[in-house]
Amino acid sequence: MKKKTSFSTKGSSADLGPLSISRMLPNRYADKVGPFVFLDYVAPAIKETITKNGMGAHPHRGIATLTYILQGEVEHFDSAGNTGEIHSGGVQWMKAGNGIIHDENFNYDSQTHSKYIQGFQFWINLPAKNKAEKPAHIAIQANEVPEKVLSNEDGWIKVIVGNYQGLIFIIPTYSEQFLYHIHLEAGKQFSLKMEDKIEVAAFLPTQNVVLNDTEFQKGEFVEFDREAGEIELKNASDIAIDILIFGGEEYTEPVVAEGPFVMNTQGEIADAYRDFYAGKYGKIK
C-alpha cells in the first residue's frame, strides 16, 4: 500500500549575499519530522570569490547540526577547537551537546574550481539524556559517503544518516533516523518501504517528481502519513533528478525551541541563554 501525503509546502526564502536560502522546516504545517527540527536549503548560486570570513559565529545547544554540501566547499570552526573542511558531496556533523559556538564558511570548491554552491543544513534534535554531553565534530568527504547503485542503472542512493540495505554511515544516531539522497535517471523510478509510525518527508531540490502517483513541484517539501507503506518516486522528466528523503521515529519528549537552542523545557532554554552570556560555551580561537 502506498503512503498518503499529509501536506506539501514551499517554505520561505531569504537572500544572504549571493546565496538564496529556503527555510523548509519548521514550516506552517510541521515543527519536526522524526528528530529533524530544521532544514535550510542553499539553492544553486554562483560565488565569484573565496571569502575568509564565516557566516557569523553563533551558539547551539541540545542539537546536532548536519551540513551536506552538493556543490562547493564548507569550512567549520568552533569553540571546542574543532575544525574541518569538506568539498562537493561531503558532510559535516557537529553535536552541540551542552553548548558550543561555531561558524561555517561557504565558498566555491577550490578543488574543482566550479563557482556553484548548493547544499543543506539540518538540525537533529538530541534526546534529553544526550543534550548535556560534550560537543563533538566529524567531517566526511564525498568518497566516504555510503552509496549504492540502483538496479537497471536507474540511479543511486546515498546514506547521509542511518542505514539502508547494509549501507551504514558513521554519523552517530540516538534514535531511529535516516536521511537519503536519491538520484534518478530520466524516466526511472524507485520505491522505499516505511514501517508503521515512522515520520517521513521528501524535499525536491532540482525538478518535479511524481510521488505515489501525484506530481510535486521543484522546491516542494512533502510530508507523508505515519501508516506503514511505500513511497514510490518516479522521474517523468527527460533529465536526471535528485530527491532527499528523511525522518525517523517520533520524538516524544517535549520540544521547546528558541533561537539557536532546542531543549525540553522553557527553563532549560533560559539556562542555555544564561550560560552563553556567561561565556561558558568558550570562544572560537
Number of structural domains, the chain?
Answer: 1
- Are 262 and 63 in contact by the 8 Å Cβ rule? The answer is yes
Measured CA to CA, the distance from residue 73 to residue 89 in angstroms comes to 9
> 207, 206, 204, 211: which is closest to 189 by C-alpha?
211
Query: Residue 184, Cα to own-chain centre: how many angstroms?
Result: 20
Which residue is listed with cell 532549560? 268
Residue 132 lies in a domain: yes
Residue 282 lies in a domain: no
Reported as a single tens digit per residue, the pLDDT across 123-169 is 999 999 999 999 999 999 999 999 999 999 999 999 999 999 999 99
Residue 284 lies in a domain: no
Residue 285 lies in a domain: no
Residue 158 lies in a domain: yes
- The pTM for the full model equals 0.95
- Are 87 and 66 in contact by the 8 Å Cβ rule? The answer is no
Helix/strand/coil for 270 = helix
The CATH number of the domain holding residue 177 is: 2.60.120.10
Residue 117 lies in a domain: yes
| 18 pLDDT above the threshold of 90 | no
DSSP 269: H
Reported as a single tens digit per residue, the pLDDT across 190-213 is 999 999 999 999 999 989 999 999
Residue 141 lies in a domain: yes
CB atoms within 10 A of CB 237: 15
Reported as a single tens digit per residue, the pLDDT across 34-55 is 999 999 999 998 887 777 777 8
Domain span at 96: 5-254+261-276
Residue 283 lies in a domain: no
Measured CA to CA, the distance from residue 282 to residue 11 in angstroms comes to 34
